[in-house]
């Protein structure tokens, strides 16, 4: 079955071909500012009345607009911080310049802390755009970051607690000679009650993820008890976590440390370059979606849907016409929203 009406992909964006370093070896070249000829009409204005076929794209476009506004503000704050640090390095250090850097640092960190709310829940901690799924925090847990280490430890029962954030202890039973998929299933079946999911990252290391709101409550209270192989059995050991993404810049600057300022400048330049790269891709994606929606303004989608349904259920001259209709209805009834999103992406 072929449907001629195609939608542009509007899924999550990630500009990284691989892991992006936080501190580049050299500052990025200045970006030339060129005026963009884009359609700035709100997403709602691009939809004709009754065009339910475009509702999902409209929602995605609104999310991308929120993300772009947040990234634009973050880019301005990072640029101001970069300028303050550059001035401090180019001239004798003065208390006024140092105070200016600290104020800029605080403003950037505050903006990063407000990322989820200010971006309309469309940007995760790595500044990757998430349009079709809730935001999740991705992190590693000390002592549970290596699948090989878990396999070498053999049989052990791990009991996880997290105070009131976890209704009841979660038990993960590890056995001898377990494969990678088996280990992941054991963690997911037990820690799933807390919304925690185990997976492998691009380098094959064991990584966990959880809904952002849940993880903020869990991470300070998460503890584990083992059988003296991976963890002690005499008591619960607090689990230290290491979150992936932008967690802010250190505000503890030494008074006379030029080296520290240069390292901070490199980190700011790297962050600014990443934000601008994401904005470029986001603007291009918004243009694609706007063009598509503009082309659909005059399309009679209701008529198109009726014609398509008529062609599907036109059983005249077919063999087994009732079975064909029954199979089509059953397939449509079992079609989920997530399956549609996956097909359209």
Which CATH number does the domain housing residue 234 bear?
2.60.40
Distance CA 225, CA 186 (A): 16
The reply to whether 60 and 113 lie within a common domain is yes
φ/ψ bin of 248: left (φ > 0), alpha (ψ from -120 to 50), beta (otherwise): left
Distance CA 140, CA 123 (A): 20
Q: What does the block give as tokens for 190?
A: 């037990």
Distance CA 343, CA 196 (A): 26
The reply to whether 236 and 274 lie within a common domain is no
Q: What does the block give as tokens for 332?
A: 């449509």
Name residue 157's beta-bridge partners. Answer: 173
Let me know how many helices (H) and strands (E) the chain has, helices first.
10, 8
Q: What's the total number of domains in the chain?
A: 2
The reply to whether 159 and 179 lie within a common domain is yes
The reply to whether 227 and 277 lie within a common domain is no
Tell me, yes or no, whether 304 lies in a domain: no
Tell me, yes or no, whether 238 lies in a domain: yes
Tell me, yes or no, whether 2 lies in a domain: no
- The tens place of each residue's pLDDT in the chain, 345 residues long, gives 433 444 444 444 444 444 443 433 333 444 444 444 444 444 444 444 344 446 777 778 888 888 999 999 999 999 999 998 888 888 766 777 778 888 889 999 999 999 998 998 889 998 888 877 788 999 999 999 899 999 998 899 999 999 888 888 999 999 999 999 999 999 999 999 889 999 998 888 899 999 998 898 898 899 999 999 999 999 999 999 999 888 788 887 766 578 888 999 999 999 999 999 999 988 888 888 778 777 766 556 667 667 777 776 665 655 556 676 777 777 777 676 666 655 665
DSSP characters over 82-119: HHHHHHHHHS---HHHHHHHHHHHHHHHHHHHTHHHHT
Tell me, yes or no, whether 303 lies in a domain: no
Tell me, yes or no, whether 314 lies in a domain: no
Residues spanned by the domain of 89: 53-127+257-295
Distance CA 268, CA 274 (A): 10
pTM for the model stands at: 0.65
Q: What does the block give as tokens for 51?
A: 């065009």
Of the candidates 193, 199, 147, the one whose C-alpha atom is nearest the C-alpha of residue 174 is: 147
């Amino acid at each position: 079955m072929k449907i001629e009406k195609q939608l542009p992909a509007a899924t999550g964006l990630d500009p990284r071909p691989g892991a992006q370093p936080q501190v580049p070896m050299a500052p990025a070249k200045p970006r030339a500012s060129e005026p963009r000829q884009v359609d700035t009409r709100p997403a709602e204005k691009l939809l004709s009345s009754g065009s339910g076929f475009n509702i999902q794209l409209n929602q995605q476009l609104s999310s991308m607009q929120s993300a772009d506004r947040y990234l634009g503000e973050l880019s301005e704050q990072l640029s101001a911080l970069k300028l303050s640090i550059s001035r401090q390095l180019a001239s004798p250090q003065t208390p006024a310049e140092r105070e200016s850097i600290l104020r800029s640092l605080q403003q950037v960190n505050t903006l990063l802390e407000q990322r989820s709310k200010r971006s309309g829940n469309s940007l995760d901690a790595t500044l990757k755009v998430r349009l079709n799924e809730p935001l999740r925090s991705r992190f590693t847990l000390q002592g549970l970051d290596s699948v090989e280490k878990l396999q070498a430890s053999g049989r052990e029962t791990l009991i996880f607690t997290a105070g009131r954030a976890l209704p009841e202890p979660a038990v993960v039973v590890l056995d001898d000679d377990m494969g990678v998929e088996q280990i992941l299933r054991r963690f997911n079946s037990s820690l799933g009650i807390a919304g925690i999911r185990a997976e492998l990252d691009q380098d094959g290391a064991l990584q966990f993820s959880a809904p952002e709101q849940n993880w903020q409550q869990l991470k300070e209270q998460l503890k584990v008890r083992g059988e003296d192989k991976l963890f002690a059995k005499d008591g619960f050991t607090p689990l230290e976590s290491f979150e992936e993404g932008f967690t802010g810049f250190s505000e503890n600057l030494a008074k006379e440390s030029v080296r520290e300022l240069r390292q901070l400048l490199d980190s700011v330049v790297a962050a600014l370059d990443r934000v601008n790269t994401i904005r470029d891709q986001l603007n291009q994606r918004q243009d694609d979606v706007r063009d598509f929606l503009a082309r659909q303004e005059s399309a009679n989608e209701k008529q198109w849907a009726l014609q398509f349904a008529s062609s599907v259920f036109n059983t005249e001259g077919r063999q087994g016409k009732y079975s064909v209709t029954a199979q089509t209805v059953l397939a449509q009834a079992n079609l989920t929203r997530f399956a549609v999103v996956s097909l359209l992406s």
